[in-house]
Amino acid sequence: MTNSRIADIFDEIADLLEFQGSNPFRVRAYRNGARIIRDLPEPITTVLADDSRKLTDLDGIGKDLADKIATLVETGELSQHQDLLAQVPSTVLDIMRVPGLGPKKAALLYKELNIATLDQLKAACEAEQVRQLKGFAAKTEQTILHGISIAAAANERIYWSEADTVAHDVREHLAVCQSIKQLELAGSYRRGKETVGDLDILVVSQDAPAVMDRLAEYPEIADVIGRGDTKMSIRTHKGLQIDLRVVPAESFGAALQYFSGSKDHNVVVRGMAKQRGLKINEYGVFRMDGEDEAYIAGATEQDVYATLDLPWFPPELRESRREFDWAAAGELPELVSVDDIRGDLHMHTTATDGRATLEEMIAAARERGLSYIAITDHSKRVSMARGLDADRLLAQWEEIDVLNKKLDGEFLVLKGIECDILEQGGMDLPNDVLAQADWVLASVHYGQQQSREQITNRILGAIENPSVTAIAHPTGRLINRREAYEVDVDAMMTAAAKHGKLLELNANPARLDLHDIHCAAAKSHGIPIVINTDAHSIDGLDCMRYGILQARRAGLTKQDVANTRTWPQLNKLIAKGRGKP
């Protein structure tokens, strides 16, 4: 029983209790417990196995939650959870995932209109029944209709970061099987897509039953979908399907290329093969002579591509966009990597809604090998996060000045702010204050339902402000939870290029904003991308790799990413946009 699985169960209990109208304090206890367990840097089983430690030593975990955690680890289930699932249709959980609907509104829909599924919800909205309920309106009804597709997608695809956790777990689980000679993951996971529908695992082994027997022992398995001679499919408790294929060594590279995809990339590859009298499939590359075929390659991906005089393509580029043109011109880009990043320029501390102090974030960033960071707590408009007014911000900057003197050039902390772009336009803090910053991120958190013209004009106004350095999470989307707000992206990029401003690729796995197509467009406009974690905790700094993966899918190199530079180099890059020499 993993930390993630325990946290998911606690979150689900909280949703179901809130749906039933239970005591808010009880609901909050489960939500807090879920957060604590999910953020725990070690397996909960390690704590339980240590006689010198108690679960109740964890801040926020009382005896009741501790007993339930122990039960989950020991038995794999919780009677309270099972009872709640028996009382409430499981499909109601899907309704709670519709943007704008939570447990309370889902409960009202269920009680008043007997709506228990997404299909029933869609039908009720289309029949204009939902708007008749107290607390709902015609606009709410349209928002729900729009959000149903998001909730449906959330059921089908999970964040890459979540799939990565499963991928590492299942790889580690299979590693003890000595019958496995080679193992790789394929599919959209390998290509780094921001969401993943299933996991494809390819294995070389001469004992397929032993490999499948080992997979059948995976702790997170919910059921076996199917099992044959060389393929086995399972479903995890989270609903993720894992497909295992056992292939011969001579076909491993061909199978890896085939099952990594994308479909569009493979169509081009097979077409090129056909022109040469070859056939490429998951079994290998074959020379065709009428109906006869002769195997000529397939053990490695490099061998497969070499038969077509093609280079090996990084999986992130295999979307049939520009990779074949680059290959033909001998210009396949050397993609940016995590090791290229020198600084992280978007993070929060306990001064607003972060969970680590200024000093703790500095220490964590240094441990990760960074040379500089920008502290960018929220401005006052974000009142729910205790955003900073001018006085508190200037006081924080004074504290940063003191810390920089102690660091004595070994590490640099930039005086920054994530300043809201107000609904009526303009910045949330005075220009004379912002002008004193080293780094100013401008962002839209409120008024996201405004018209395309309004939001675009707000962002263009921020871009024209000489104190602003970059636009943070420029389209405001939350993957599987909220669509991007209406903004003219091309106008934003044209203005950013003109005024020397940067655009952020927010590496939070729920954002990844800008997405890969927009990042590629920014490159064509000559706009450097800054990849930031938007960390609200020490662990949040590790999100950088998700942003890097997205940048690689866009074909970005080290030169295309602003924070691969030293601070003096970056400072020179942004000087023009800030109206400074």
Q: What is the mean pLDDT of residues 463-474?
A: 97
Domain assignment present for residue 253? The answer is: no
Residues 329-358 pLDDT 10s: 999 999 999 999 999 999 999 999 999 999
Q: What is the mean pLDDT of the chain?
A: 93
30-88 per-position pLDDT tens digit: 988 888 888 777 788 888 888 888 889 888 888 999 999 999 988 888 999 999 888 88
What CATH number is given to the structural domain containing 237? 3.30.460.10
| Domain endpoint, select from 328, 352, 372 | 328
Q: Are residues 455 and 530 in the same domain?
A: yes
Give the number of other Cβ atoms within 10 Å of residue 275's Cβ: 9
- In eight-state DSSP terms, residue 488 is -
Per the domain annotation, does 37 fall within a domain? yes
* Same domain for 424 and 561: yes
pLDDT tens digits, one per residue of 287-322:
998 888 999 999 999 999 999 999 999 999 999 999
- 124 within domain boundaries: yes
Give the pLDDT of residue 39: 76
Using CA atoms, how far residue 381 sits from 111, 213, 274, 460, in Å, is 37, 56, 60, 19
In a domain, 580, yes or no: no
SS3 at position 445? coil
Q: How far is CA 124 from CA 241, 337, 442, 478, in A?
A: 31, 48, 40, 26
- Please give the single-letter amino acid code of residue 105: K
Question: Based on the domain organization, do 173 and 301 belong to the same domain?
Answer: no
DSSP 427: B
Q: How far apart are CA 93 and CA 228, in angstroms?
A: 34
Q: Can you give 490-541 as a three-state secondary structure string?
A: HHHHHHHHHHCCEEEEECCCCCCECCHHHHHHHHHCCCCEEEECCECCCHHH
Banded model confidence at residue 362, pLDDT cuts 50, 70, 90: very high
- Which of 355, 374, 350, 397 is closest to 531 using CA atoms? 374
Pairing of β 439-443 and β 470-471: parallel
The yes-or-no verdict on residue 517 having pLDDT over 80 is: yes
CATH code for position 309: 3.30.210.10
Assigned domain for 254 exists: no
Predicted confidence (pLDDT) at residue 367 exceeds the cutoff of 80: yes
What average pLDDT does range 196-204 have in this prediction? Answer: 96
Can you tell me the distance from the alpha carbon of 21 to that of 12, in angstroms, rounded to the nearest whole number?
14
Q: CATH number of the domain that 113 lies in?
A: 1.10.150.110
Instruction: Classify each residue of 309-341 as buried b or exposed e, where b means 16 or more C-beta atoms within 10 Å of its C-beta.
Output: ebebbbbbbbbbbebbebbeeeebbebbeeebb
Indicate whether 213 and 97 sit together in one domain.
no
Residues 418 and 467 in one domain: yes
pLDDT for position 92: 83
Nearest to 455 by CA among 434, 440, 432, 477: 477
Residue 70 backbone phi and psi in degrees, to 5: -60, -40
Q: For residue 282, what are the CA distances in angstroms to 229, 248, 261?
A: 16, 11, 11
Give the contacts of 97 (CB within 8 A, at least 6 positions apart).
Answer: 150, 151, 154, 155, 480, 481
Kindly write down the DSSP assignment for every residue of 133-181, as one continuous string.
STT--HHHHHHHHHHHHHHHHHHH-EEHHHHHHHHHHHHHHHTT-TTEE
CA dist 457 and 426 (Å) reads 10
**Same domain, residue pair 10 and 152:** yes
Closest to 340 in 3D by CA, of 525, 529, 191: 529
Asked if 488 and 554 sit in the same domain, the reply is yes
Number of domains in the chain: 4
Confidence (pLDDT) at 1: 67
How would you classify the pairing of strands 502-506 and 439-443? unpaired
Considering the domain architecture, whether residues 205 and 320 belong to the same structural domain is answered as no
The pLDDT of 374-399, averaged and rounded, is: 96
CA distance 238 to 24: 26
- On the question of pLDDT at 151 being above 70, the answer is yes
Question: Same structural domain for residues 354 and 453?
Answer: yes
pLDDT for position 542: 95
Q: Note whether 479 and 542 are within 8 A (CB).
A: no
537 within 8 A of 565, measured Cβ to Cβ: no
Residue-level pLDDT at 580:
64
Last residue of a domain, one of 185, 220, 247: 247
The Cα 381–Cα 446 span in angstroms is 9
21 belongs to a structural domain: yes
Residue 333 domain flag: no
Same domain for 147 and 170?
no
Predicted pLDDT of residue 135? 83
Residue 176 is predicted with a pLDDT of 96
Q: Which of 137, 156, 175 is the last residue of a domain?
A: 156
Task: State whether 319 and 392 are in the same domain.
Answer: no
- Residue 252 in domain: no
Longest pairwise C-alpha distance within the chain: 81
Beta bridge partners of 347: 535
Encode pLDDT of 254-273 as tens digits.
999 999 999 999 999 999 99
The whole-number pLDDT of residue 44 equals 87
The token duo for 374 is 């920008």
Q: Which domain holds residue 169?
A: 158-247
Give yes or no: residues 407 and 518 share one domain: yes
Q: Which of 45-54, 123-132, 206-215 has the highest mean pLDDT?
A: 206-215
pTM across the whole model: 0.82
Question: Does residue 95 carry a pLDDT above 70?
Answer: yes
CA pair distance 82, 381, nearest whole angstrom: 42
* Residue 155's pLDDT band (cuts 50, 70, 90): low
